[in-house]
């Protein structure tokens, strides 16, 4: 193993572990320690929040580090080399998040997503539409690099283009925005004064979006 590969492995391992630890830690702090959620809900309901936050952060970094370098920032080589691992881990975490969310999806767990007659509210419908389309687009993006499609230069140029990336980021953001913006506007109700996970993720999206807007060629 040459020195560069060893450095990349160190960087990707510590970036992924730190992101997971901070994201899960934030969910535990906000919902269990300063919030009212009982600890019995940690293994699924709260862990799901931590995992999807980590996924969002890793994917945003994966998409934004290259454009950030184009803007003149000094991004360490190890971080640039870790992008593939961040993208793949982010995608697998999103898969986990989707599976966990499907199992949890009911009016008892997510009361605010449902009308009294048991149908989805408009905002929940828009949010879930954003989530499932972001998931499918992400799947296509990953497949493009793992299959024969990777030989198709025009397709790869399209899928890594500024236009496509900005569109894909907006899908993820719409998932967060429609689900959360009503709570974002009421800081008095935030547990321990800490912003909801959806707002933390949205802040990462906003920074990543601006970096891609100006730094992607
Ligand atoms: C099949 C696709 C998806 C489904 C069914 C889904 C479902 C859900 C549900 C039900 C929630 C509410 C969780 C909660 O409040 O406990 C949620 C939140 C969230 N999702 Fe997704 N999602 C999907 C795709 C995605 C994708 C592609 C991302 C991007 C990484 C993502 C990131 C997030 C984030 C960061 C939250 C905020 C969690 C919170 O505020 O508690 N989701 N999703």
3-state secondary structure at position 114: strand
The whole-number pLDDT of residue 8 equals: 67
Ligand 1 pocket mutation pick from 60, 61, 101 by most atoms within 8 angstroms of CB:
101
The whole-number pLDDT of residue 217 equals: 84
Give the list of residues 6+ apart from residue 17 with CB closer than 8 angstroms, or none.
none
pLDDT digits (tens, 9 = 90+) for 78-118: 999 999 999 999 999 999 999 999 999 999 999 999 999 99
Name the strand (E) or helix (H) holding 117: none
Contact indicator for 165, 209 with CB cutoff of 8 Å: no
Distance 87 CA to ligand 1 centre (A): 17
CA distance 97 to 41: 15
The whole-number pLDDT of residue 147 equals: 86
Tokens representing residue 109 in the block: 């767990």
CA distance 126 to 171: 10
- Rounded to an integer, the average pLDDT of 56-62 is 97
Q: Band of the pLDDT at 186, cuts 50, 70, 90?
A: very high
């Amino acid at each position: 193993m040459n020195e560069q590969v060893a450095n990349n492995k160190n960087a990707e391992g510590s970036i992924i572990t730190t992101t997971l630890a901070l994201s899960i830690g934030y969910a535990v702090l906000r919902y269990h320690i300063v919030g009212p959620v009982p600890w019995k809900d940690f293994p699924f309901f709260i862990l799901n929040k931590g995992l999807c936050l980590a996924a969002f952060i890793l994917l945003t970094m994966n998409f934004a580090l290259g454009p950030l370098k184009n803007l003149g920032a000094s991004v360490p080589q190890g971080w640039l080399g870790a992008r593939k691992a961040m993208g793949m881990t982010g995608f697998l975490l999103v898969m986990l998040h989707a599976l966990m969310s499907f199992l949890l999806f009911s009016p008892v767990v997510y009361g605010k997503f449902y009308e009294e007659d048991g149908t989805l509210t408009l905002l929940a419908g828009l949010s879930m539409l954003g989530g499932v389309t972001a998931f499918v687009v992400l799947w296509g993006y990953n497949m493009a690099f793992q299959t024969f499609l990777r030989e198709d230069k025009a397709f790869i140029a399209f899928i890594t283009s500024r236009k496509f990336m900005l569109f894909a980021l907006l899908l993820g953001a719409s998932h967060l925005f429609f689900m959360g913006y009503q709570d974002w506007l009421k800081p008095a109700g935030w547990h321990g004064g800490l912003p909801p996970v959806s707002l933390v993720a949205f802040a990462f999206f906003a920074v990543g979006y601006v970096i891609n807007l100006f730094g992607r060629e």
